[in-house]
Structure 1
Amino acid sequence: MFVLDVRTANAHYPGIGRYTFELARALASITELTILHNPLYHAPEMDVFTIPAKRVAVPHTPRSLEQQWVVRSRLQRLNATLYHSPFYLMPFAPGVPTVVTAYDLIPLKAPDGFTARQRWLYRLAHQLAFNAAEHIITLSQAARADFIAAFKLPPEIVSSVVAGLPAHIQPQTASAVQSFREKYALPAQYLLYVGSNKPHKNLPKLIEAYRALPASAPPLVIAGPEDERFPEMRRAAEALGQRVRLLGRLPDSELPAAYSGATLYVHASQLEGFGFPVLEAMACGAPVACSDIPVLRELAQNAAVYFDPRQPASLTQTLQETLESPSLLTALRERGQQRARYFTWERAAAQTLEIYTAVQNTK
């Protein structure tokens, strides 16, 4: 019996939760699956009760001490043959063959915003998770290489499995885009970034680069949760007045229209584990300009233009040259949509099931 832990499928873990929920739905369509869920947390957009799988309640979060023995007990009672945790905070002695998904090493590679204690705990918890696991899944080859190097892992126990896209992430009609623009008082053309303002997202440098563009350039729209511990982005944005618009976190239902209406999607992050907004932008037909880092090169390939995220001048030049070339913008839209079609949850589920079967057969 394969058991997937979906307790992260809620608003507290938006990115990991979406990965877990979509993977569970796709897996349940091709194999018999049992899911562990937390009945105390419910997210309508990630409704685990819509997953066609056997459900077992575990009323403890992945950050609780109780999960260490409660999950193990549930797995024993189920006679589970494999347990998959999509989060590194997991039972560290689950008692059955285990697969864990690991995402990135951002707290270790970009320590700004993290205390020494947080970084130490992040490394320790990952090490404990890896000690408990027979196999580790990452979402990119770049992340796979990072984890192998940082934790001295045998390469054969770490696999890269691409993620997919939610069904609603697709190009929107002109009327849907117009409604979105009217709601947020946006002009017909705008640059877009979707994500947080955490230091590794590099937003102060993005705004610095944007500031060097002509005043006639489309406004820069920043959509995503704002962490008040990092006020640099807001200060830089407010210095440019209406040239930079801060929308805050958008509802999931509005993201496709935001992407579809963008003249150019810009992602200046210094580090990523995968880069979901870049993939979502491509899927919705937005041209993409992004950081020249391994994970985004792997993700977008020839469907984006690239810049050095450490150099605002490189970013400014890339933005200006791209905005001044209608033919390039058209080509990026076409290449992006073609590239995005590769990333499906059906593919992710099939690759994940192969790992489950291999791990189960070796125990």
Structure 2
Amino acid sequence: MRPKVILDAGPAVHQAAGLGRYATELATALWRGESNRTELALFYNDHSGHRLPAALTNVPSSRLPMGQYRWRLSALASQVVRRPNLQRHLPPGDIYHATEHLLPRMARRTVLTVHDLIFRHLPETHTWRNRAFLATAMPIFARRADAIIAVSEQTKRDVVTAYGVPAAKVEVIPEGIDQDLFQPVCTGCDLSRTLQQRHGDYLLMVGTLEPRKNHAAAARALAILNQRGRSLNLVVVGGSGWKFSPFHKLVEELNLGTRVHFAGRVPDAELPTYYTNARVLLQPSLYEGFGFPILEAMGCATPVVSSNRSSLPELAGDCALLVDPTEPAAIAHAVEQVLDQPRLRSEMIRGGRKRAATFTWAEAARRTVDIYLSLL
């Protein structure tokens, strides 16, 4: 049987960071590579006026014009009263796949993707309203879903521990990266020359500007390195998040105003150039459910210094240097190892490229369809 799957494409429409990438890339891979095993249709709440990414415009879709908060509360309410009130707004189908942490009650089989439980581990990084919603809703969503996809072993452990769901109900399906895009680029091209002139020798961080990404530790490590005679800059790529003003103050306190460069949100097509020209990618996050920059940097032949917490060690394997993200001196030392040991750098680049090549959206889509078929 070829099941019809209604996939929530809301993150692809409304978000540009990790959740948006997951929904976009998974839906694209399902549409292009798994149409012989599943019939795909998209659904999203049309609260922002945005539309589907270009890659998904040919996929059958429907939308519900409902405000963001009303949609979230209605999804939770439908689970509380155990009535599939929202299903009438969806096209017919066999399976509903919630690609973010929002699962309405359905009179059909359901799949829930859980990306992380950061709101439990680092509650201070979420607004009180979002914490309250997720603390109430996620136990219900996790228990009511027929199957759960976790994007990492760390997330699976968190879900099983926090909500008591059977481990057999949670399948780990890692996310992928665009294998064609994240490759080394010519360091003599126009953009490369521009970056070299603008930023010199630089360390790179990629991700939304928010406290859990731990830019502060990266800045302190940069200060240590430059005090030791290095001449390095830190390039920060990512859109504005929340609670980030203390970082700007820290940069000034450390006299790094000319050393920390904010590039803002960069088009995906330009990211490989930022990675390729960086001396080292820093990923000192306090918590991640996955961590795209590690794999993207490895694909672009850039060495990685990463936090040793949450899901990051399982992504990095033995191809990155892992450090305590709360110890700027340890971060600085790891960077110096990469810069001063050519053999180590070469080994990290070679191993990293092989590792990054194993994380594909085609494989994620194939295994996701296996989950769909198991529910029939």
Instruction: Output the TM-score relative to the length of structure 2.
Output: 0.87
2:98 to 85, 89, 92: 85
- Which residue of structure 2 aligns with residue 230 of structure 1? 244
Could you say if the C-alpha distance between residues 5 and 71 of structure 1 is closer, same or farther in structure 2, counting changes exceeding 3 Å? farther
**Any unmatched runs of 5+ in structure 2?**
79-83
- For each residue in 1:121-150, what CA deviation from the matched residue of structure 2 results, as whole angstroms up to 9, or x when unmatched? 212121232233111111101111011111
Q: Is the counterpart of residue 317 in structure 1 residue 333 in structure 2? A: yes
Check the 8 A contact 1:172/1:257 in 2, yes or no.
yes
For the pair 1:157 / 2:169, whether they are aligned, the reply is yes
Equivalent runs, 1:272-351 vs 2, <5 Å: 272-351=288-367
Q: CA deviation at 1:94?
A: 1.6
Q: Counterpart of 1:268 in structure 2: which amino acid?
A: P
Structure 1: runs of 5 or more not aligned? none
Q: 1:231 to 1:98 in 2, by over 3 A?
A: same
Deviations 1:296-327 (A, max 9, x none): 11101011111111222211211122211122
Aligned letter for 1:6? A
Asked if structure 2 preserves the Cα contact closer than 8 Å seen for 1:219 and 1:244, the reply is yes
| Counterpart selection for 2:57 from 44, 49, 57 | 49
What SS is found at the alignment partner of 1:163? coil
Identity %: 32
Q: CA deviation at 1:23?
A: 0.7
Is structure 2 residue 19 aligned with structure 1 residue 16? yes
Change (3 A) 1:13 1:300: same
Q: CA deviation at 1:62?
A: 5.9
Shift of the alpha carbon at 1:250?
A: 1.6
CA distance in 2, matches of 1:320, 1:183: 22
User: What is the Cα deviation at residue 202 of structure 1?
Assistant: 1.3
Shift, 1:269, TM fit: 0.5
Residues 245-254 or 134-143, more deviating? 245-254
User: Is 1:34 matched up with 2:23?
Assistant: no
Q: Closer, same or farther in 2 for the Cα pair 1:227/1:35, shift >3 Å?
A: closer
The 2-side partners of 1:356 and 1:185 are apart by 50
Question: Deviations 1:39-82 (Å, cap 9, x if unpaired)?
Answer: 642254x54214xx43233334664336666741144x51x211
Specify the code of the residue in structure 1 equivalent to 2:162.
A
CA apart distance, 1:19 = 0.7
The residue type equivalent to 2:63 in the other structure is A
CA gap of 1:141–1:318, structure 2 versus 1, over 3 A, is same
Q: Which residue, 106, 114, 118 being the options, matches 2:126?
A: 114
Distance 1:7 1:228, change over 3 A: closer
8 Å contact kept, 2:17–2:208 = no
Count of aligned residue pairs for this structure pair: 353
Paired residue for 1:203? 215
With normalisation by structure 1, the TM-score equals 0.90
**Is 1:64 aligned with 2:70?**
yes
Given that 1:180 and 1:254 are in contact with CA atoms closer than 8 Å, whether structure 2 keeps it comes out as: no
The letter of the residue matching 1:302 is D
Partner Cα distance (2:167, 2:67) in 1: 31
Q: RMSD over aligned Cα, in angstroms?
A: 2.2
Looking at structure 2, the residues matched to 196 and 25 of structure 1 have their Cα atoms a distance apart, in angstroms, of 23
Query: Is 1:175–2:188 an aligned residue pair?
Result: yes
**1:251 Cα deviation after fit:** 1.9
- The residue number in structure 1 matching 2:375 is 359
CA–CA separation in structure 2 for the residues paired with 1:165 and 1:72: 32
Rounded to whole Å, the distance in 1 between the matches of 2:188 and 2:45 is: 39
